[in-house]
Structure 1
């Protein structure tokens, strides 16, 4: 993961004069760090972990996986927010020529 590249790309998509937008980028990077830390924690224990409670021994799913899913949901929500906060670029107007006259696409029914 290259945090500097990700931060630079996100900052290029937002209004940098907005403290709220910059805070969203910081929050995204922070969540991303935790997401990858959880990856490192899951690998040694694997998907299932062994629980020993006295004489009882059982297996259960690694709680880090549920946490990783929760963080992934938060990352996706922030990504959607970045896409909506980007100012739309104006589409170039195209003219349609019909019967020797120029029309805007909206003029034609």
Structure 2
């Protein structure tokens, strides 16, 4: 086996499943999505600009790349995220004005 193949395999095995998850969003008080995104390890994987829907539990579920899921409560305070290897749920710190709920968070090892 070539050294480059061994090194590639070792790097893939050593790579973390989720080095950094960044979630941002803004939802107005009427429940209209202004924009919600999820960035996994520097790659935009979910974006409300690609589409979103209200799921069977009443959560806002974004359109994501294959293998990824990101959903939030209508006030943004709770999030559910899945990538091809793991799934997470977490509380999100939501700010607000008199018209909009918003958040911007980094977790799981972001610098």
TM-score under structure 2 length normalisation: 0.23
Task: Name which structure has the greater RCO, CA cutoff 8 Å, separation 6+.
Answer: 2
Decide which structure has greater helix share: 1
Higher gyration radius (CA): 1
Decide which structure has greater strand share: 2
TM-score under structure 1 length normalisation: 0.23
